[in-house]
Structure 1
Amino acid sequence: MRASRLVTLLLLLQNRGRMTAQQLAEELEVSVRTVYRDVEALGAAGIPLYGDAGHAGGYRLVDGYRTRLTGLTADEAQAAFLAALPGTAADLGLGEALTTAQLKLRAALPAELREPADRIKERFLLDAPGWYGDADRTPHLVAVAGAVWARRAVVLRYRRWRAPEEIERRVEPYGLVLKAGRWYLVASGPSGIRTYRVDQIIELHRLEEEFGITDGFDLAAHWNSYLADFRARLHTGEALVRLTPRGARRIGVTPSGGGWTETWVPIESIDHAHGEFLRLGTDIEVMAPAELRDRIAETIRALATRYER
């Protein structure tokens, strides 16, 4: 356990430069006293690092020192190649850079780790977009990514679902998220931090204004909070339904025995539930709310009349 922590400490200093004992303790989830002992152990092992005293001090490696990747385990080497997604990198204009980086990483690996790492490309492939419909066209993705990387504000013309359908806003792009094959821009604007679908950006103009990220902002934490809020707003109602065993399995409900299962299920809205439940055909009967039951019955009568011709 300690050996793994020492390697992590060393890589943190190598990749981030000077770090205080407190910062290292937070990253490693240990006490500051433990960091002091670990730093002493690295020094005793011949690692060229030193500490600066004072408010702006901290630990750092001697300039030019780089550790080799011989500390990687087979699982870590495979994970490193699995995390490199060629399609995603190409979308961001980094396809060639990723290929070069993979070659360099492979060359740095010990011989016994190269073969397991190579098997990742042979046996695993990520195809993020869904089956139905082509992947979203994102002609402005590279420009958005460039603005995110350079911390430059942009003016974008954006298409949205409510009126006015087209808006123009100056925003500060904080980060990009790839979710289920679709790119989202997290940006700060006049109304605070908002999320924009990149494929709905009609036009984008990058400004020369550099901006700073709001203190304490963390992209992953923000996205998780956004998803939780989205799910909470998504299903605001319930419907009482009867399901055949097949219908129950299709919507993720555990069937009760071999007959019909009666249960309450969350719904987004009457309109949305109307379309979703019709897809289940004869495997579902809606009991409540009455408005939803009546809407489905009306649709079924209209379909029966149409097909009787």
Structure 2
Amino acid sequence: MSTSKNWPRLESEILACMPTAPGDPVASGQIIAAVRARFPLNPPSRHTIQRALENLEIEALVGKRGTSRDRVWWRTGKQAPSELARRPPLELAIALLTLRRHAPNHLPGHVIQGLEAYFAGAERVLSESPTDPSLGDARAWANKTVRVHAGYPLVSPPIHGDILNAIRKALYTSRVLDVAYQNSRLDTDAPDSYQVVPLGLVERGPVLYLVASRQRRDGTFKIYQLRLDRFASAACTETPGVPDPNFDLNAYVRDDQSFSFLPEGQIQLELRVREEDGYRHLFREQWLATDQVIIDEPGGFRLKATVTLSIALRNLLMERSARVEVLSPATLRDEIAEGLRQAIGRYEANAVDGA
């Protein structure tokens, strides 16, 4: 389905030539004559107008009955999209389709729904002329950018669409959310039910989280980090929520590093990094902190930085332990060493059992 490039407003002109009352019929010949009269210098052909009418029928904006010259058409009453939605400029079309591809979880559900006509218009613009080189470049753009997560590509856990929509609605309208949530503990299968006020959505790797709060009796707020795939149910209520007035999502994620999991405050970290395979180590180019200092030494370098001690930091150091040695603080060095000893013990035990 495409709008004619020579008459970009053709569908809008057709609708303007039809009775405004839904169901009020008008003959094909009358529509064609009226539309052609609107373009006295370069009128579209009968076939072009008929094709545009069929496009409008596909969009459920008009209905028809009869055949050939006896055919009549009428408006259905469905709201026609704006001209900008029907035919966005090329640059906007590229931006719209990139938005739909890369950020579907970062917009309220009703906004996504409201943009559907714009998405359809963007696809229509990009599909108009297979031989137009500018459109060819625009169509190719979709396959020239991609987002990948750091580390091994884990499969995103499924999220029920109704749950996601309820959460986005409550977040957008600042309403209380009724939740039934299954935590990660192994000793229970029963979800907990309670109410929270959504504060923000955070996409971390393949997992989508809801940050929410609940006010305690003393007036303070408890903050929750809830994985959307662990929701058994979610319902947006009509009750206005009372969010934590001091909460800042950016500070919570970036400054407090709450999504590093169980942050314990800052430490002065010193590492010895080995570069024995002839390649620069990741930590030379992707720093652990803005105050990172590298001191070159034979076979690699020592690294000093102020970092937040957390589960994410421990996992990173364990993951890189073949090339990265913790020098200080001593407690973290001992903790990493003990984790490696446990891992070695399991591998050696399995090797003995297999023998």
Q: Shorter-chain-normalised TM-score: which range? A: 0.5 to 0.7
Cα offset, 1:256, TM superposition: 2.0
Q: Which of 66, 77, 85 is the matching residue for 2:101?
A: 85
Give the structure 1 partner of residue 154 of structure 2. Answer: 133
Native 8 Å contact 2:200 2:249 kept in 1: no
Give the structure 1 partner of residue 320 of structure 2. Answer: 280
Give the structure 1 partner of residue 181 of structure 2. Answer: 158
Q: Which of 170, 174, 177 is the matching residue for 2:195?
A: 170
Does 1:242 find its partner at 2:272?
yes
Identity value in percent: 19
**1:45-60 pair list within 5 angstroms:** none
Q: Are the structure 2 counterparts of residues 107 and 129 from structure 1 closer, same or farther at C-alpha, using a change threshold of 3 Å?
A: same
Deviates more, 1:278-287 or 1:263-272: 263-272
Give the structure 1 partner of residue 121 of structure 2. Answer: 104
**Counterparts of 1:271 and 1:127, CA distance in 2:** 22
Give the structure 1 partner of residue 40 of structure 2. Answer: none
Q: Are the structure 2 counterparts of residues 256 and 226 from structure 1 closer, same or farther at C-alpha, using a change threshold of 3 Å?
A: same
Aligned residue pairs total: 240
Native 8 Å contact 1:156 1:203 kept in 2: yes
Does 1:184 find its partner at 2:209?
yes
Give the structure 1 partner of residue 240 of structure 2. Answer: 211
**Counterparts of 1:250 and 1:296, CA distance in 2:** 20
**Counterparts of 2:120 and 2:181, CA distance in 1:** 39
**Counterparts of 1:298 and 1:68, CA distance in 2:** 62
Cα offset, 1:228, TM superposition: 2.4
1:123-158 Cα deviation digits (max 9, x unpaired): 334466963432123232233234445665321133
Cα offset, 1:215, TM superposition: 11
1:200 maps to amino acid: R
Q: Are the structure 2 counterparts of residues 289 and 234 from structure 1 closer, same or farther at C-alpha, using a change threshold of 3 Å?
A: closer
Give the structure 1 partner of residue 333 of structure 2. Answer: 293
CA RMSD after TM alignment? 5.0
| Structure 1: gaps of 5 or more residues | 1-63
Native 8 Å contact 1:240 1:264 kept in 2: yes
**1:183-202 pair list within 5 angstroms:** 183-190=208-215, 191=221, 195-202=225-232
TM-score w.r.t. length of structure 1: 0.54
1:172-212 Cα deviation digits (max 9, x unpaired): 345544343322334453227755332232332443x2537
Cα offset, 1:82, TM superposition: 1.3
Give the structure 1 partner of residue 167 of structure 2. Answer: 144
Give the structure 1 partner of residue 250 of structure 2. Answer: 224
**Counterparts of 2:314 and 2:242, CA distance in 1:** 43
Q: Are the structure 2 counterparts of residues 129 and 98 from structure 1 closer, same or farther at C-alpha, using a change threshold of 3 Å?
A: farther
Cα offset, 1:170, TM superposition: 1.7
**Counterparts of 1:224 and 1:167, CA distance in 2:** 28
Q: Are the structure 2 counterparts of residues 104 and 160 from structure 1 closer, same or farther at C-alpha, using a change threshold of 3 Å?
A: same
Native 8 Å contact 1:243 1:261 kept in 2: yes
Q: Are the structure 2 counterparts of residues 149 and 270 from structure 1 closer, same or farther at C-alpha, using a change threshold of 3 Å?
A: closer
TM-score w.r.t. length of structure 2: 0.49
**Counterparts of 1:93 and 1:69, CA distance in 2:** 18
**Counterparts of 1:283 and 1:105, CA distance in 2:** 49
Cα offset, 1:84, TM superposition: 1.7
Does 1:262 find its partner at 2:302?
yes
Higher helix share: 1
**1:13-52 pair list within 5 angstroms:** none
1:58-96 Cα deviation digits (max 9, x unpaired): xxxxxx9x674899775444223211227837x998999
Computing the radius of gyration over CA atoms, which structure comes out larger, 1 or 2? 2
Native 8 Å contact 2:314 2:336 kept in 1: yes
Partner secondary structure for residue 131 of structure 1: coil
**Counterparts of 1:145 and 1:305, CA distance in 2:** 44
Native 8 Å contact 1:86 1:98 kept in 2: no
Q: Are the structure 2 counterparts of residues 85 and 222 from structure 1 closer, same or farther at C-alpha, using a change threshold of 3 Å?
A: farther
Give the structure 2 partner of residue 51 of structure 1. Answer: none
Deviates more, 1:266-275 or 1:97-106: 266-275
Cα offset, 1:284, TM superposition: 3.0
